Every structure is written in C-alpha cells, then in structure tokens.
Amino acid sequence: MLRPIETSKAPKPFSAYAQGMEIPPGHRVVHVSGQIGVTVSGDIPADPARQHELAWENAMAVLAAAGMDHRNVVDAHVYITDSAHIALYRETRDRFMQGHKPAATLLIVAGLADARLVVEVDLVAAAEAEAPATSAEAS
C-alpha cells in the first residue's frame, strides 16, 4: 500500500495532493511520459478544458495499459502555459484522482512542444509486484 507522507515541518498542501508518497519494497514502478491534450487521431482541440481532459485521459490510458489506475499514482507533474488555467487544472485533476492525493508539482511554463498545447501531464505510479509463477504454475 502506498503511504502518504505528511509533516507539520513543511507547509500544508495548497490543494488536493500529499507532501510526499512512499513506495514500499516489492512494488513495480511505472513512469508515464508527458501526455498532452491531443486525441488518439492527433487532433489538438482549441478548447483548454478539452485539452486538460484529454491529457488526463491519455495518462490514465497508459496507466490502464500497465494494469494500474488513479489509486496507483505516486507523483504527478503537470505543466500548464497559462496561470489563468490553475482552477481548471485542479478541477480536472481532482475529478480524475477521485479523492486520491499523490505528491504533485504544478509548473506554469512558457510553452510546450507545440504552441497550440496548453497542458502536459506526467505521472509516476506504483503497484505491488506480481508474484513470480512457481514451477508447478508455469507448467
């Protein structure tokens, strides 16, 4: 089980995230590369809300491919190009995290790989490692 780290010796989180997260021994770790607000077919919507939605959908799709979901997220890094989108970022993140509070970093950046992009999400997730098959199970 992932363990949130909280201390009164550091500032309390500004929103729904943990000060830190511990990954116990015996877990496998997945790093989700930066996912952007682009459809599977490569379309970049002009609407920032749709881009935020897609970036999180895409990140969750990668987690699902690894057999994980939002509860496995240990750390989220999100990059947005406009500070006016902070509330949109928080609302979208909170919806996808469904009350789960990983460690998190939000950065306002000058731009992303394509000037039309407004958000990028990368994640670190962890889950208990599957027990190796015994020789009897492998036969």
**Distance from C-alpha of 59 to C-alpha of 78, rounded to nearest angstrom:** 11
Segment (H or E) for 97: helix 86-97
Output the pLDDT for position 27. 95
Q: What would you measure as the largest C-alpha separation in the chain, in angstroms?
A: 59
Average pLDDT of the chain to the nearest whole number: 94
Render pLDDT for 74-124 as a digit per residue (tens, 0 to 9): 999 999 999 999 999 999 999 999 999 999 999 999 999 999 999 999 999
Whether the predicted pLDDT of 138 surpasses 60: no
Give all domains of the chain, ordered by start, each with its CATH number: 27-128 (3.30.1330.40)
Task: Kindly report each contact of residues 59-63 with a partner whose C-beta sits within 8 Å and lies 24 or more positions away, as own/partner.
Answer: 59/32, 59/35, 59/121, 59/122, 59/123, 60/96, 62/30, 62/32, 62/33, 62/35, 62/123, 63/30, 63/32, 63/123, 63/125
Output the pLDDT for position 139. 47
Render pLDDT for 14-60 as a digit per residue (tens, 0 to 9): 899 999 999 999 999 999 999 999 999 999 999 999 999 999 999 99
Whether the predicted pLDDT of 5 surpasses 80: yes
- Is residue 32 within 8 A of residue 123, CB to CB? The reply is yes
Neighbours of 90 (CB within 10 A): 16
Q: What is the mean pLDDT of residues 56-73?
A: 97
Task: Determine if the pTM surpasses 0.85.
Answer: yes
Whether the predicted pLDDT of 136 surpasses 80: no
**Distance from C-alpha of 73 to C-alpha of 62, rounded to nearest angstrom:** 12
For residue 134, what pLDDT band results from cuts at 50, 70 and 90? low
Output the pLDDT for position 90. 97
